[in-house]
Amino acid sequence: MTAPAGELREAAPVLRMRGITKTFPGVKALSDVNLTVRAGEIHAVCGENGAGKSTLMKVLSGVHPHGSYEGEIDFEGAPVAFKDIRASERHGIVIIHQELALVPYLSIAENIFLGNEQARRGFIDWNGTLRRAAELLDRVGLRERPQTPISELGVGKQQLVEIAKALSKEVKLLILDEPTAALNDEDSAKLLDLILELRAQGVACIVISHKLGEIRAVADAVTILRDGQTIETLPVRESPGAEPELSEDRIIRSMVGRDLDHRFPERTRYEGADAGETAFSVSGWTVRHPVDRERTVVDDVSLTVRRGEIVGVAGLMGAGRTELAMSVFGRSYGGYVTGTVEVAGRAVHTGTVPAAVAAGIAYVTEDRKQYGLNLIDDINRNISLASLAGMVRRGAVDEHHERRVAERYRTSMNIKAPTVHEQVGRLSGGNQQKVVLSKWIHADPRVLILDEPTRGIDVGAKSEIYTVIDRLAAEGKAVLIISSELPELLGMCDRIYTMAEGRLTGEVARADATQEVLMRHMTMNRS
Residues that bind another protein (CB under 8 A): 24, 329-330, 332, 352-354, 356-357, 363, 365, 370-377, 381, 384-390, 392, 395-397, 399-401, 403-405, 407-408, 411-412, 418-419, 421, 439, 441-444, 468, 471-472, 475
**Residue 372 to residues 168, 170, 273, 290, 441: CA-CA distances in angstroms?**
37, 40, 34, 21, 14
CB of 434 to another protein, least distance (A): 12
Per the CB < 8 A criterion, the answer to whether 465 and 472 are in contact is no
130/472 with CB nearer another protein? 472
Per the CB < 8 A criterion, the answer to whether 240 and 273 are in contact is no
End-to-end Cα, the chain, rounded Å:
40
Pairing of strands 361-364, 310-315: unpaired
Q: What is the 3-state secondary structure (H, E, C) of 145-192?
A: CCCCEHHHCCHHHHHHHHHHHHHHCCCCEEEEECCCCCCCHHHHHHHH
111/350 with CB nearer another protein? 350
CB of 445 to another protein, least distance (A): 10
CB of 55 to another protein, least distance (A): 11
CB of 395 to another protein, least distance (A): 7
Among residues 222, 225, 226, 223, the alpha carbon closest in space to that of 244 is found at 222
CA separation for the pair 444, 422 (Å, rounded): 24
DSSP class of residue 476 equals T
CB of 437 to another protein, least distance (A): 10
139/408 with CB nearer another protein? 408
CA separation for the pair 185, 140 (Å, rounded): 18
CB of 429 to another protein, least distance (A): 15
15/437 with CB nearer another protein? 437
3-state secondary structure of 5: coil
Which residues, including other chains, have CB under 8 Å from residue 302's CB and lie 6 or more apart? 281, 282, 283, 284, 285, 504
CB of 210 to another protein, least distance (A): 24
Per the CB < 8 A criterion, the answer to whether 109 and 191 are in contact is no
DSSP secondary structure of 362-385: EEE-S-IIIII--TTSBHHHHHHG
- Strands (E) in 266-412, as ranges, are 278-288, 296-306, 310-315, 335-343, 346-348, 361-364, 392-393, 396-397
156/445 with CB nearer another protein? 445
223/382 with CB nearer another protein? 382
CB of 352 to another protein, least distance (A): 8
290/390 with CB nearer another protein? 390
CA separation for the pair 109, 55 (Å, rounded): 30
CB of 299 to another protein, least distance (A): 24
CA separation for the pair 524, 504 (Å, rounded): 10
185/277 with CB nearer another protein? 277
Amino acid at site 69:
Y
CB of 279 to another protein, least distance (A): 14
12/396 with CB nearer another protein? 396
24/126 with CB nearer another protein? 24
